[in-house]
Amino acid sequence: MIDRLEKEVDMLERHLEVLRMVIESEPIGIVKMSNETGYPHHKVRYSLRVLEEENLIEPSSQGAITTERTEEFVEELDEKVDEIIDKLESMKIETED
């Protein structure tokens, strides 16, 4: 049950790392991202596809670039992560020692 959540969190972490690289180094290509992160090309490509579907990046002839929506997403990200952390904290089952 928790394994699936862990995998989702790992994938989200990768997507956000790819997004961070696009923000910091746009335009940037798959090969450079793969070399710098150590993720295989197919995983970087998948993350780029997900980010493009969310309208956070778009392709260009030079590589991935940010969109108008990227800044708004980044501004809201920390708050959303904090809300999820709070929700997960409330799910803990405390045991007495």
Residue 27 has pLDDT above 90, yes or no: yes
DSSP class of 42: H
Average pLDDT of span 47-73: 96
pLDDT digits (tens, 9 = 90+) for 10-19: 999 999 999 9
pTM for the model stands at: 0.88
Q: Which of 76, 80, 81, 55 is nearest to 22 (CA)?
A: 55
Taking only the tens place, the pLDDT of each residue in 17-26 is 999 999 999 9
* pLDDT given for residue 94 in this prediction: 85
